Amino acid sequence: MNAGRNLLKSGMKILARRIGSVFILLLMVSEVTGSPRAMAIGDPPETTITRLGPTPSSEVVNFTLTSDQPTIFECNLDGAGFVPCPSAYTTPALAEGEHVLRVRAIDSDGNIDPTPAGEAWVVDTIPPVTALVAYPAAISNEDIATFEFVANENPATFECNIDDGGYIPCISPFVTTSLISGTHTLSVQTTDSANRTSFVPFTWIVDLDAPTTDVTQIGAIPSANIVFFTLTSNEPVVFECNLDSSGWAQCAANLRTPRLAEGDHTLLVRSIDHAGNEGDTVTHTWQVDTLTTNEVDQRTFVPLESPKRLVDTRGGNRFGTTSTNGVSIKRIKITGATTITGDTTGLPDTNIGAVALNITAVGGNDNNGYGFIT
């Protein structure tokens, strides 16, 4: 009888171990009285995961695994299956992206935690990338600047810092105002969900001051009616010129006019700096007069054919190929109103016959004895 009772006890113990995590009550016979009683083999363990050390953005993460009773642990990383693991668990180096660790405890009776503990995190070792998609010109003439920026990660937060004044939360577009002339810098700091940060700086120049313009006439070629000017400013600029109301056009700092007609001329000059500021317009006027001794613009004269006589009917003066004082007359200049008669062969067709003219006779040596006939 005693032998049977001991065998029953031994069989019941073996059965409990085979059932494992199932909570059961076994009827055992009291060794003292032989009467049956209820006995709990054990509750399944509870598992807890605690993450240690570096931020979850690291490639390697450390965990401490605990349970409410003496146990061993099994780990399942990223669905690879449960395998034994220590209570101080360190992951292998992980790739960028999301990861999940599940851990279950097994007690000394073989009971397995039916609800494994889980931990999810993201490995993010790369800082966010921020791009400026709108910004002022490198040199600007505005006291306000607008910036637009985007990050390659979402969510992400931004902070802006103007001229080292400190970072403040900001969004795109970011507008800064009341800028003064000088160099300015904006720095945009971007922070992603893994607390990684990056910085993007942008530097530009604000120029609110108009340039000055100076025009200096430095010489001329009187016989060709050409004038030279030097244009200067107090800063790097582009010059624009308007000669005799011909329209504005870009011009060189060392300016040479084309051949000019006799009379009054006007040159307007303005300067525009790299920021687009336009300076005041400077006006320079002068007169072209080439009727000086031995300096005659050949293009404005009509050659005389020998013999030739032109008569000023008002004064009775006669001009031909030879004057009364023996000086050879080589050209006449037709400039305006008086009436002439005589042989007009060789003159332009528009001057044939009686024509209202002013006449200038120019001698071969000088102008002595000749001039305008009025």
Residue with more model confidence, 8 or 75: 75
Band of pLDDT at residue 221, cut at 50, 70 and 90: confident
State mean pLDDT over 223-232: 88
pLDDT of 26 over the 60 cut = no
Question: What percent of the chain is predicted at pLDDT more than 70?
Answer: 64
Please tell me the pTM assigned to this model: 0.55
Maximal CA-CA distance, the chain: 179
Reported as a pLDDT band with limits 50, 70 and 90, residue 53 is low
Query: Which segment, 43-57, 80-94, 304-318, is predicted with the most confidence on average?
Result: 80-94
Q: Across 165-174, 218-227, 307-316, 325-334, which has the greatest mean pLDDT?
A: 165-174
pLDDT digits (tens, 9 = 90+) for 157-178: 999 999 999 999 999 999 999 9
Amino acid at 13: K
Query: Is 228 a residue whose pLDDT tops 90?
Result: yes
Which pair of structure tokens corresponds to residue 361? 């006779």
Sole residue written with tokens 């049977």: 4
Give the pair of three-digit tokens for residue 47. 């598992």
More confident residue, 292 or 75: 75
At residue 151, the pLDDT reads 96
Please provide residue 174's backbone torsions phi and psi, each rounded to the nearest 5 degrees.
-110, 130
Which structure tokens are listed for 270? 């303005």
pLDDT in the model for residue 223: 64
pLDDT computed for residue 55 by the predictor: 62
For 211-237, what is the mean pLDDT?
Answer: 89
Neighbours of 137 (CB within 10 A): 13
